[in-house]
């Protein structure tokens, strides 16, 4: 069976749904089909994410994209509400706080100045001020903190549900299927073929396939280095209701955590922790290794916050980052294949950047160019050209 669409978006996570929603918000009336192979979303990166949102980057366009995104995050629950349901992404601007000790102070100071030059809203915080903010955190080895007051975190699953519901309410079609062929002729996309046997002819394909974006690109005859990398997270219940709310707190050693507030009155007070293992072997690995809690997470957490030693109810899970060699996104059309638009490779920052990414994709589809942001540095062919991006704030 053959159908036709004006644009096919491959990947129905937050990036794909944001792109579809922004297209409708920007007045695009053509047929939009989003192909998502995992209807349950149980393996979707946005479904399994930590939900951090920050503008602390050193690349000006990234800061601009994050500031654009924060404006939507602040209004998300109202803006993405539908007659049937209002999402509760619940963006809490409690800040992103990086702690500096003797080993990291020089690098974090340099990064702070780079972030300021890039236009980020960020400030250095003295240890005395940190003691007032975090009375239960051990700061004897800390020299200062770098705080983004406008940063914070949201509920990833509600973000995903909100973007999808908003797109569906605007007439976007979702297909539970898998793309197995990307058709192209004379250097231009002509359609996709699905595992179900359906062929959809289209002049525009958006690669929002997240950790599988490299695989999808290869179906189109393109080689772009995007690999899946496991990221493990743990949730645990605090020993008591905490008298204050944690920001996203990043220890110099790498472990970081945020509050996971109870969604209902009287619910347990919890935190979510992450600790990226950069020696992880790339691949589609969703195994949650319980021993990492005892070996890596718990000791680092208790060393920084001894009052957390009696946490209970520990549960772990794993999701996938979509990593690029320079840990920066891949955005825009590929010069070797007209109509094939990349929106992936965010290396752990996809959810937080999804509003700006959706806007960018909308402009490429409607106008053939990005007008709101100058995203040329994120071009899909930069790796082949050796034009990698250095941003000290990618973690």
CATH code: domain of residue 297 = 3.30.9.10
High-pLDDT (> 70) share of the chain, %: 100
Same domain, 128 and 181: no
Residue range 159-176: average pLDDT? 97
Same domain, 185 and 75: yes
Same domain, 214 and 259: no
Same domain, 105 and 172: no
CATH of the domain at 219: 3.50.50.60
State the chain's mean pLDDT as an integer.
96
Which of 228, 226, 251, 246 is closest to 236 using CA atoms? 246
CB 297 within 8 A of CB 311: no
Residue 345 within any structural domain of the chain: yes
CB 382 within 8 A of CB 331: no
High-pLDDT (> 90) share of the chain, %: 95
Q: What is the pLDDT of residues 243-283, one digit of tens each?
A: 999 999 999 999 999 999 998 888 999 999 999 998 999 99
Same domain, 141 and 277: yes
- Confidence band of 395 (pLDDT split at 50, 70, 90): low
Q: What is the pLDDT of residues 275-323, one digit of tens each?
A: 999 899 999 999 999 999 999 999 999 999 999 999 999 999 999 999 9
Same domain, 284 and 380: no
Q: How many CB atoms lie within 10 A of CB 104?
A: 17
Distance CA 220, CA 192 (A): 9
Same domain, 30 and 132: no
pLDDT at 114 over 70: yes
CB 5 within 8 A of CB 22: no
Residue range 361-366: average pLDDT? 98
Q: What is the residue range of 330's domain?
A: 2-85+156-225+326-385
Domain boundary among 299, 323, 347: 323
- Give the list of residues 6+ apart from residue 270 with CB closer than 8 angstroms, or none: 235, 236, 237, 238, 259, 260, 261, 262, 313
Tally of domains in the chain: 2
Same domain, 181 and 160: yes
Distance CA 205, CA 221 (A): 14
- Confidence band of 14 (pLDDT split at 50, 70, 90): very high
Q: What is the pLDDT of residues 141-151, one digit of tens each?
A: 999 999 999 99
CB 325 within 8 A of CB 351: no
């Amino acid at each position: 069976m053959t159908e036709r669409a004006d644009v096919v978006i491959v990947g129905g996570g937050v990036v794909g749904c944001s792109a579809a929603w922004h297209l409708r918000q920007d007045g695009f009336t053509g047929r939009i089909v989003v192909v998502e192979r995992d209807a349950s979303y149980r393996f979707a990166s946005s479904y399994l994410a930590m939900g951090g949102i920050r503008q602390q980057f050193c690349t000006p366009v990234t800061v601009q994209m994050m500031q654009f995104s924060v404006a939507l995050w602040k209004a998300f629950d109202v803006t993405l509400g539908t007659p049937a349901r209002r999402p509760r992404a619940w963006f809490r601007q409690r800040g992103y706080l990086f702690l500096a000790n003797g080993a990291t102070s020089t690098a974090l100071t340099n990064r702070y100045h780079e972030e300021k030059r890039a236009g980020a809203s960020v400030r250095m915080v003295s240890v005395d001020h940190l003691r007032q903010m975090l009375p239960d955190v051990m700061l004897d080895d800390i020299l200062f903190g770098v705080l983004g007051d406008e940063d914070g975190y949201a509920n990833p699953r509600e973000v995903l549900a909100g973007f999808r519901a908003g797109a569906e309410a605007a007439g976007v079609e979702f297909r539970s299927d898998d793309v197995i062929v990307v058709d192209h002729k004379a250097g231009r996309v002509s359609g996709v073929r699905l595992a179900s046997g359906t062929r959809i002819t289209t002049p525009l394909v958006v690669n929002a396939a997240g950790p599988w974006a490299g695989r999808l690109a290869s179906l189109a005859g393109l080689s772009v280095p995007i690999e899946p990398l496991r990221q493990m997270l743990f949730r645990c219940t605090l020993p008591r209701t905490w008298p204050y709310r944690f920001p996203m707190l990043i220890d110099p050693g790498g472990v970081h955590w945020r509050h996971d507030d109870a969604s209902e009155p009287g619910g347990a007070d919890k935190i979510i922790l992450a600790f990226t293992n950069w020696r992880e072997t790339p691949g589609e690995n969703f195994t949650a290794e319980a021993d990492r809690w005892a070996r890596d997470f718990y000791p680092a957490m208790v060393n920084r916050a001894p009052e957390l030693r009696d946490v209970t109810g520990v549960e772990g899970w794993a999701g996938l980052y979509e990593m690029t060699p320079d840990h920066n996104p891949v955005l825009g059309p590929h010069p070797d294949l007209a109509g094939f638009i990349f929106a992936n490779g965010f290396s752990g920052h996809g959810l937080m950047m999804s509003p700006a990414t959706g806007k960018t994709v909308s402009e490429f589809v409607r106008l053939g160019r990005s007008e709101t942001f100058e995203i040329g540095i994120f071009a899909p062919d930069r790796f082949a050209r050796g034009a990698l991006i250095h941003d000290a704030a990618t973690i």
